[in-house]
Amino acid sequence: MPRVYVSSVIDAPAGKVWERVRDFNGLPRWHPRIRESRIENGEPSDRVGCVRDFYLHNGDRIREQLLGLSDYDMFCTYSILESPMPLENYIATLRLTPITDGDRTFVEWSAEFDCAPENAEDLVGGIGTNVFQGGFDSLKRHFGA
């Protein structure tokens, strides 16, 4: 089972970063690859079980389901329901941890999934670079780094 793990430090308080990323429907506001997003059936975007349906700037459509969300522990876990990527059983977690030295944030994003062995390296690299690190770089720019 391939695993993707990316971590970084954002020069902003964890509470401020969490305000920016906690909205499960808010990807277009902070991730540069996301064009638009909506929560299906008009559900609240912080309700575990809700499904976001979003489009990348290249037109690809992805549907994901919120599996866990904690304001106390500052994490969200979700699964991919539909995607053009050749993978299955994708589960990811975005987690924030306060760094008290300098009032910064340690961010980590991880995922595990199943795929054909010949696709694993490209998927791990693409998700790690384009999705996870791309999101972190955008957050760093937003918070002034």
At residue 145, the pLDDT reads: 61
Name the residue ranges covered by the structural domains of the chain: 3-142
Is residue 35 predicted with pLDDT exceeding 80? yes
Q: Please check whether residue 21 is in contact with residue 71, taking contact to mean a CB–CB distance below 8 angstroms.
A: no
Q: Please check whether residue 127 is in contact with residue 18, taking contact to mean a CB–CB distance below 8 angstroms.
A: no
Is residue 46 predicted with pLDDT exceeding 80? yes
49 — pLDDT class (breaks 50, 70, 90)? very high
Q: Please check whether residue 76 is in contact with residue 66, taking contact to mean a CB–CB distance below 8 angstroms.
A: yes
DSSP string for residues in 45-72: TTSTT-EEEEEETTS-EEEEEEEEEETT
Vertex 18 angle, CA 16 and 23, to 5°: 125
Is residue 32 predicted with pLDDT exceeding 70? yes
Q: For 72-128, how does the pLDDT look when each residue is reduced to its tens digit (9 = 90+)?
A: 999 999 999 999 999 999 999 999 999 999 999 999 999 999 999 999 999 999 999
The position carrying tokens 């106390």 is: 72
Q: For 52-72, how does the pLDDT look when each residue is reduced to its tens digit (9 = 90+)?
A: 999 999 999 999 999 999 999
Q: What is the mean pLDDT of residues 26-44?
A: 95
Per DSSP, the three-state class of 25 is coil
Q: Please list the helix, strand and coil fractions of the chain in percent, rounded to the nearest 5, in that order.
A: 30, 40, 30
At residue 144, the pLDDT reads: 82
CA distance 126 to 41: 31
CATH class of 3-142: alpha beta
Return phi, psi of residue 43, to 5°: -70, 155
Per DSSP, the three-state class of 113 is strand
